[in-house]
Structure 1
Amino acid sequence: MTMDLSDVALFCSIVTTGSLSAAGRLSGHSPMAVSRRLAGLEAELGVRLLHRTTRAVALTTDGETFLPFARAMLEAREAAAALFVERHEGLSGVLRVTAPNRIGRALVVPLAVRLMAENPLLQVDLTFSDSIVDIVASGIDVALRVATLQTSDLVAVRLADNPRILCAAPSYLAARGSPQRLAEIDDHACLTLHAMDAWPFRRDGRPFTKRVGGRLAANSVDAVREACLAGAGLALLTYWDVAQDLADGTLVALNLTETEPELLAIWAVLPTRQHLPARVRHFLDALKAELGAAPAVSSEGA
């Protein structure tokens, strides 16, 4: 069996894009040529990989079995090629990263710029969104996430703590005072995210939630942060959402007696752990170093 890896790549592209014509557009082939090459791959394997109609394709049972092997072959080829290019010319290829908006701008953009300056053949494609992106369908190499992770077939690597910070602008605290105990939050305006009107805390090592209310709720971390900076109320955001604001003094971290916000972490989510391209490994190593250099947070009332 002399399997053509370009046919294997075409099969994976069909699965990812959902159609022969879309895969053809990406590869520069006509739908007829894509169909012919897929048929050749199926004939070589002796199985049917895809059910196909005029409108859609779907994996057969044999196709589902073959798909992870196909992706592993392509990853191995890319890793081998990248290894030798890296030795002579530095990192190369396209590094595709997705991250939440604030973390993306605060961490990923400066790091990407630095890596590109150090590696002239490296390209970077960034997608910033506070929603979860399907990294397999989108061809993403690394997804940075701070949410509690759900069980999946993806690989998750813990990079660093990302503490939640209860914070407010100095102007708000001057007008309304600083809460010292959790119960006092009821007397304050709280700025909330749509999916988080119950804030998570810990007391004596035990997690619990506190339902909060206020006049502003948003689906965007940036919107909550901007309202907080404007003195509209208290916000519970993560360290990397407000790190620069805390350093500048435009926001103040608050410390409550006997209660602390529930801890979060920054995770790197990968489609696979096998045959990671050098550019992905270097990005993760550089990101860990950047996160490890973060300063400690000082809190009012600590």
Structure 2
Amino acid sequence: MPMNLSDVALFCAIVASGSLSAAGRQAGLSPMAVSRRLAALERELGVRLIHRTTRSVALTADGETFLPLAQTMLDAREAATATFSEQHEGLSGVLRVTASHRIGRALVVPLAVRLMAENPRLHVDLTFSDGIVDIVAAGIDVAIRVATLQASELVAVPVADNPRILCAAPAYLAAHGFPGRLADLDAHACLTLHAMEAWTFRQAGHPVAKRIKGQLSASSVDAVHAACIAGAGLALLTYWDVAQDLADGTLNNLALEDAEPEHLAIWAVLPTRQQMPARVRRFIDGLKTELVVSLPAQGR
């Protein structure tokens, strides 16, 4: 006889709420009915899952082992239900996304607006931060990140190339000239982020950290970007920070003879889990489609 997933869900509700009566109130069941269904699940598994007292419940060792398996089964049921219902009714639920301010405004917001228009039952919750958000603790479905990723238990899906671009405003270049080689940066005003004393380039296939200096440093990419457009100096920004500026001539892409900026990518970072909700999958696919454009020669 197949396992009753309703009983599995009730078991998880007991653990989450801390009592049989609280789980029963959530499910519209009496405490006696909850107790009978928990006992039925335990008989099917052949183990005791929960110690009961009149005041509280506690997981047994077998219950501790079964809990993550139970949650996986419920996640799989939810994913299967969502997959087939969304084929007919569109995306639903809440899509929680975090990204940097610039990537969020330029890429995430337009895509979120389109997905909501196409799927009236879909809700989107956006968190924009230039810092790293703990997506597991915050309950985030997907984080859009550009920085080099560190080893972790999170799942990282590549979305698009996003090379760094050395750039400056035409007014600055008219007044101070173009740098030709990496060493020439010493003679230029370089706009920096706080705690970033060096820019990473590649020379002959090897990474090189070039120490930089300038009159202005800032805590955000937005501030560096604005100062660069205003003609305050050179900036090292990612392609998707400056794509529109390069296209309309607001900024110039500076190619050095002996070095190229570090190559980066845009990543979709997910919590560690086997099932990806359809709304998350559609968001990532949509982002990939948005980013299929020609990159500058150094990024190809």
TM-score by length of 2: 0.80
SS at match of 2:83: helix
Q: Could you say if the C-alpha distance between residues 271 and 41 of structure 1 is closer, same or farther in structure 2, counting changes exceeding 3 Å?
A: farther
1:296 paired with 2:298, answer no
Q: Distance in 1 between matches of 2:243 and 2:182?
A: 23
Deviation at 1:112, TM superposition (A): 0.8
SS at match of 2:191: strand
Structure 1 letter corresponding to 2:12: V
SS at match of 1:158: strand
Q: Deviations over 1:231-282 (max 9, x none)?
A: 1111101011111111121111100012100100111111135221111111
SS at match of 2:152: coil
Q: Distance in 2 between matches of 1:196 and 1:62?
A: 50
Which of 5, 8, 11 pairs up with 2:12?
A: 8
* Aligned match of 2:150: 150
Deviation at 1:63, TM superposition (A): 7.7
Structure 1 letter corresponding to 2:294: P
Q: Deviations over 1:138-188 (max 9, x none)?
A: 111111111111111111111111000001111111111111111111111
* Aligned match of 2:254: 254
Structure 2 contact 49–60 (Cα < 8 Å) conserved: no
Q: Distance in 1 between matches of 2:191 and 2:227?
A: 8
Structure 1 contact 160–288 (Cα < 8 Å) conserved: yes
Identity, in percent, stands at 68
Q: Distance in 1 between matches of 2:65 and 2:131?
A: 30
* Aligned match of 2:92: 92
Structure 2 contact 154–269 (Cα < 8 Å) conserved: yes
Structure 1 contact 103–240 (Cα < 8 Å) conserved: yes
Structure 2 contact 82–277 (Cα < 8 Å) conserved: yes
* Aligned match of 1:53: none
* Aligned match of 1:224: 224
Q: Deviations over 1:28-50 (max 9, x none)?
A: 97xxxxxxx9xx9799573579x
Structure 2 contact 75–275 (Cα < 8 Å) conserved: yes
Q: Distance in 1 between matches of 2:103 and 2:202?
A: 24
* Aligned match of 1:199: 199
Q: Distance in 2 between matches of 1:63 and 1:225?
A: 54
Which residues of structure 1 form unaligned runs of 5+? Answer: 15-19, 30-36, 50-58
TM-score by length of 1: 0.80
Q: Could you say if the C-alpha distance between residues 78 and 171 of structure 1 is closer, same or farther in structure 2, counting changes exceeding 3 Å?
A: same
SS at match of 1:94: strand
Structure 2 contact 135–271 (Cα < 8 Å) conserved: yes
Structure 1 contact 253–298 (Cα < 8 Å) conserved: no
* Aligned match of 1:114: 114
* Aligned match of 1:237: 237
* Aligned match of 1:46: 48
How many residues align? The count is: 271
Which residues of structure 2 form unaligned runs of 5+? Answer: 27-33, 52-58
Q: Distance in 1 between matches of 2:195 and 2:62?
A: 40
Structure 2 letter corresponding to 1:269: V
* Aligned match of 1:272: 272
Residues 159-178 of structure 1 mapped to structure 2, 5 A cutoff: 159-178=159-178
Q: Could you say if the C-alpha distance between residues 161 and 241 of structure 1 is closer, same or farther in structure 2, counting changes exceeding 3 Å?
A: same
Q: Could you say if the C-alpha distance between residues 71 and 174 of structure 1 is closer, same or farther in structure 2, counting changes exceeding 3 Å?
A: farther
Structure 1 letter corresponding to 2:128: F
Structure 2 letter corresponding to 1:296: L
Q: Could you say if the C-alpha distance between residues 229 and 10 of structure 1 is closer, same or farther in structure 2, counting changes exceeding 3 Å?
A: farther
Structure 2 letter corresponding to 1:5: A
Q: Distance in 2 between matches of 1:91 and 1:244?
A: 31
Structure 1 letter corresponding to 2:236: L
Deviation at 1:136, TM superposition (A): 1.0
SS at match of 1:190: coil
Structure 2 letter corresponding to 1:80: A
Q: Deviations over 1:73-128 (max 9, x none)?
A: 33213212212221221111111111111111111111111111111111111111
Structure 1 letter corresponding to 2:175: A
Structure 1 contact 198–209 (Cα < 8 Å) conserved: yes
* Aligned match of 2:31: none
| C-alpha RMSD of the superposition | 3.1
* Aligned match of 1:102: 102
Q: Distance in 2 between matches of 1:235 and 1:60?
A: 58
Deviation at 1:60, TM superposition (A): 9.8
